[in-house]
Amino acid sequence: LKSATAASTPSALPFIGLGTCCDDADTAERLVLAGLEAGYRLIDTAAHYDSEPAVGAALAAAVDRGVLRRSSEVTVCTKVWFSDMGYDAAIASARRSLERLREERLGLLLIHFPGSPDAVQDPKRNRALRASTWRALEDLQRDGLVRDIGVSNWSRRHLREMLATCRTPPAVLQTELHPRCQQPELREDCDAAGIKVLAHCPLAHGAASLLRDPTLCAVADRVGRSPAQVALRWSVQSGVVPLPHGSSAARLREN
């Protein structure tokens, strides 16, 4: 898999990654290992997914089998859940993620959501939580425990507010993105700030509204590819890194 450089950092990201949400531990480990064998070098996980131990086990197995020389060849992206927002809690969350992943350094660490549900009616508190959590990520990066830092599921307002005050701008922003959810304004803001966009749910959870879309299917028929492959190609050609989830080794290779 080829690499593209995230504009705000010197770090290279593959053009496509593998999502690990919603699988049980055995399935997640099996699919991540299959993905590594197929050539994936970007794995997306999160503290809330409960897939970090499986990702760590798959990386170790890939090294044992000679698929990888070292686990650091793979960029692992994980996230701080909203219950761990705040400076001290975010630091502790990152250290737990390192242990579960069996890593000494995280490739990408994101704030999973821009606020805590128990503070949803308190914008001032959520602003403070975002700011203190981001300071924690900045310090983790400064201390060498994280390579790059970013945010997930943030709106244009959240991003603009952050860019006006942060010491270090985010390297990436992860959001739902696919041909039926294109978010052009958010992507424009990210491009202007040199922020690489990662797309979770790039196949819209497998929804028929996307994969049976007449335009998408017509393009797929014309080029001899599946609708899913065309949707993922749309992401790549839009400068976005898609993070599809795969249900089998064959589907991972197809993606």
Pairing relationship of beta strands 75-80 and 146-152 according to DSSP bridges: unpaired
Residue with structure tokens 């959501």?
A: 113
Strands (E), 112-201: 146-152, 172-176, 196-200
Residue of 20, 23, 32, 49 marked active site: 49
State the Cα–Cα distance between residues 142 and 157, nearest whole angstrom.
26
Whether the Cβ atoms of residue 137 and residue 123 lie closer than 8 Å to each other = no
Q: Which residues of 93-129 are buried (b: 16+ CB within 10 A; e: fewer)?
A: bbeebbebbebeebbbbbbbbbbbeebeeeeeebbeb
User: Mapping DSSP to helix (H, G, I), strand (E, B) and coil, where does residue 121 land?
Assistant: coil
Distance (Å, whole) CA 85 – CA 176: 21
What are 76's strand-pairing partners?
Answer: 43
Question: Does 48 appear as a known binding residue?
Answer: no
Concerning whether 87 is annotated as a catalytic residue, the answer is no
Q: Which segments are annotated as binding site?
A: 112
Q: Which segments are annotated as binding site for substrate?
A: 112
Active-site positions read 49
